[in-house]
Amino acid sequence: MNETAAIKTDGLIKYYGNLQALYGVDLEVKRGEVFGFLGPNGAGKTTTIRCLLDTIHRNGGSVEVLGFDPKEDPVAVRKRTGYLPGELSLEGNMTGRKLIHYFNELRGKQANWSFIDQLAERLELDLRRPIKNLSHGNKQKIGVLQALMHRPEMLILDEPTTGLDPLMQQEVLKLICEAKEGGATVFFSSHIMSEVETVAERVGIIRRGKIVEVSRPEALKARALTRARVRFKESVDIDSLGKIEGVSVLSKDDSTGAYLQIAGEIDALIKGLAKYPVRDFHTERPSLEEVFLAYYGSNHA
């Protein structure tokens, strides 16, 4: 048993028929850390997660979760793990409370009901309502609650904040941090860069079934792209903005406006704009997909 690694994969391979989804995934997640798992759609995030729990069988390589091979001893892994699948399917005719009671029975009544009620209150979730009458966001909250309710050693969460409003997303991130403080290891996938920057200690990036990088969130943040739209009170030399370090001019609106892309910090751009009569300035963050394409290339394999 590996005492330092909560998750360890070596050469993990998975095929769906003739289609290869994972090409030798090597990962090591330390016990007690929060590890973010990132990648564009179809990169292999969900497939990797399912192999960790043996909900689908791997075709090659080795997997250890909390010292157990999930293929050889899936019960030991599931008993110690709280899992939120990316595609959550719940029994619609049950109330939330009956469903949670069912999950608790399956896990040997590990959960404390006072803790379950506390989670439901924090998630603003009415467990008396039938699942079929819940919104997508409230069904997601049920999924989050059932993963957390027995205070597992390991949390494996596939897109945990999907469908939640911004305030509830923050509450779920707080719950993740509290689970980590209680000694749990957290492995979660996300499409939201800010989530990863907030809670993850390390990040693994998967693209086309391969791990292309493992780093700290600060490294991703330093390379993050920002878009900026700027309008001026009078005509200026737009092309000169492209000479500022890290700045590219994506488009021009005559000579009184520009749409820019900035790699890394925007401090140099702000200083460069100080000499111009700026009327309006607005920034936005590109999607995580665009960040991947910028740094790993559309043809990266």
To the nearest whole number, what is the mean pLDDT of the chain? 89
Mean pLDDT of 211-222: 81
What does the pLDDT read at residue 290?
Answer: 65
pLDDT greater than 70 at residue 249: yes
Whether 207 and 248 map to the same domain: the answer is no
pLDDT greater than 90 at residue 5: yes
Q: Is 32 buried (19+), middle (13-18) or exposed (0-12) by CB count in 10 A?
A: middle
Question: pLDDT tens digits for 275-296?
Answer: 999 999 999 876 666 666 666 6
Whether 201 and 52 map to the same domain: the answer is yes
How far is the C-alpha of 78 from the C-alpha of 72, rounded, in Å?
A: 12
Question: pLDDT tens digits for 137-187?
Answer: 999 999 999 999 999 999 999 999 999 999 999 999 999 999 999 999 999
Whether 72 and 11 map to the same domain: the answer is yes
Question: pLDDT tens digits for 49-99?
Answer: 999 999 999 999 999 999 999 999 999 999 999 999 988 888 889 999 999
Q: Are 128 and 87 in contact (CB under 8 A)?
A: no
The residue range of the domain holding 43 is 5-221
What does the pLDDT read at residue 191?
Answer: 76
Let me know if residue 301 belongs to a domain. no
Q: Specify the CATH number for the domain of residue 233.
A: 3.30.70.1150
